[in-house]
Amino acid sequence: MKDASLSKTSSGPVTKTRRQHPLALKFTSLIVEYHDRLPHVTTVMLNRPKKRNAINAQMWKEIGEAFRDVGSIGDGCRCVLLKGSGKGFCGGIDVTDQNFFAELSPSENNDDKSSQDAARKSLAFRSQVLQMQDAF
């Protein structure tokens, strides 16, 4: 696939070509590709521009998989460039994603009021944050 953007150099405009990475079809919220001129650089692009690339549970999972797999499948990757599609890099956590905070909600069958206190919610969220940090 070709990128329509041009970059100016001292010798004039140069057309950049992008090639689909072998992992590209594995992800729904990421675009993974590399450029012909930079064969050892893989670009991982957050691809939720309508939500300003806000990270939902699915994207966190995919980011972790992408960073584990890129460079380990014989693609020759030495550098990963993380960027966002659209107007901004990333809008932060997608707080509208029901799956993101699912572990923090008390279960419907649990009548124990202590499961709803702030300390227990914080402990549950801590393990989720640690999982998200392991993605990088």
What is the arithmetic mean of pLDDT over 17-40? 88
Q: Judging by DSSP bridges, how do beta strands 79-84 and 41-46 pair with one another?
A: parallel
> Among the listed ranges 28-42, 73-87, 105-119, which one has the minimum average pLDDT value?
105-119
Instruction: Could you list the beta-strand ranges (E) of the chain.
Output: 2-9, 12-20, 30-35, 41-46, 79-84
Give the model's pLDDT for residue 46.
97
Strands of 10-74, DSSP E: 12-20, 30-35, 41-46
pLDDT of residue 103: 59
The pTM assigned to this predicted structure is 0.71
Mean pLDDT score across all residues of the chain = 80
Predicted pLDDT at 53: 96
The larger pLDDT score, comparing residue 133 to residue 30, is at 30
Read off the pLDDT band of 15 (50, 70, 90).
Answer: low
The token pair at 89 is: 């890099």
Query: SS3 of 76, please?
Result: coil
